[in-house]
Amino acid sequence: MPEHDVAIIGGGPVGLAATLCLADAGLSVTVLERANEQQWAEPAFDGREIALTWHARTLLERTGAWKHIPESIICPLREARIETGRASHPLIFDAENANSPTDGPLGWLVANNMIRRALHAEATTRPGITLAPDIAVSTMRQDGDTTVIHHSAGKTRARLTIGADGRFSPTRRRAGIGAVIHDFRRMMMVCRMAHEAPHHNVALQWFDEGQTIALLPVNGGASSLVLTLPAEDIDRLMHAPQDAFNAEIMQRTGNRMGAMRLVSTRHAYPLKAVYAHRFTARRLALIGDAAVGMHPITAHGFNLGLRGAETLATEVGKAFSQGQDFAAPAVLRRYEHQHRAATAPMFAATNSIATLYTRDAAPFRALRSLGLRLADALPPFKSAVTSMLMDRNAGSTSS
């Protein structure tokens, strides 16, 4: 039976980032992934663009994954605008708001599938990492100081198991860990739209009546459209002929980008936020969306997932280097305490913002318009939010 220091269930970007961090600490890691080898190594475009903070980029550089991302597809984000209604005063964030000592963008936008591809490419170069594709996990059981994972290819034994298998994590369920699930009763459609007006590397979050729209800049005279609507409207748009689709999107965006046309596949996702009751169990830790699945309104979920993977790897690596049991309850509790402190306030605030800014009753519309004006009039607030969005604390928890 194969035996490893760590087994990670789920080979998405956060799982692979944790794999690289743990391997850097000297541990042997196996990753059990449902997708086949081709799908894992060359994931298809899924519509999602990830806004990477400075800290997230630093982590990807440190693990060696960043060099696998072509520079031509990395789009710097210079400014973020938040608007509500059709004629509102916008709230604008840029790097100058953060009183940053050095020049640079707010962050970088990179397609999710390209980040996954880069992390996988780097993982294949590491002798201490075993990548196991096309694996369906069935059960887990404790056996002394290890966990035995039963799956479609046999069994795997590891001293620590990490669940990184998404916000509806089967690993979390098998461990008997519940979760708070906030269903926003909306669907999110994502795709790329080419447009005639330049985006100037500005991201727009627009809370209009009956819809929420984000336009995220990508290279090549295009933006990623993120449209939130009731499920029946998203279903209709997902199947609309391209000409009709283009016309409706131009109408929904107020023609602010000029002529627009679809240049990618369309993808739809349910909007549900998830927060696990616990992040750990006996010889088990949850990371990424299995621990915290954020509403995308603040574009911070992936960055928090990376930070959680790094925090866990740091605590495990410290114990391992000192010859201690790196899956001991005290080690995992330190990870859980730090990651809860980093995510709980953001999760609560994000859900509150999403609720306020997606309700269209007159009091909510007035309140959010007033909120934007007040926020824009408070430079310290804007500076604090911009610093949080940039997250330039590259030192983080790792040594």
pLDDT of residue 209: 80
- Contacts with 33 (C-beta within 8 Å, 6 or more apart), sequence order: 10, 11, 15, 40, 131, 132, 133, 134, 135
pLDDT of residue 393: 66
pLDDT of residue 399: 32
pLDDT mean by block of 10 residues, the chain; 399 residues? 90 98 98 97 96 94 98 94 73 66 82 98 97 97 94 96 97 97 92 97 88 94 95 97 98 94 97 95 97 82 94 98 97 98 86 61 52 52 51 49
pLDDT of residue 387: 55
Q: Give pTM, 2 decimals.
A: 0.89
Measured CA to CA in angstroms, residue 78 lies from 59, 103, 108, 109, 326 at distances of 21, 11, 9, 11, 41
pLDDT of residue 208: 83
Architecture, CATH, for domain 3-81+105-181+273-360: 3-Layer(bba) Sandwich (3.50)
Phi-psi category of 254—alpha, beta or left, where left has phi over 0 and alpha has psi -120 to 50? left
pLDDT of residue 354: 65
CA–CA distance, 347 with 351 (Å, rounded to integer): 6
pLDDT of residue 316: 98
CA–CA distance, 117 with 63 (Å, rounded to integer): 14
Domain boundaries, the chain: 3-81+105-181+273-360
pLDDT of residue 345: 85
Q: Is 260 helix (H, G, I), strand (E, B) or coil?
A: strand
pLDDT of residue 381: 43
pLDDT of residue 193: 98
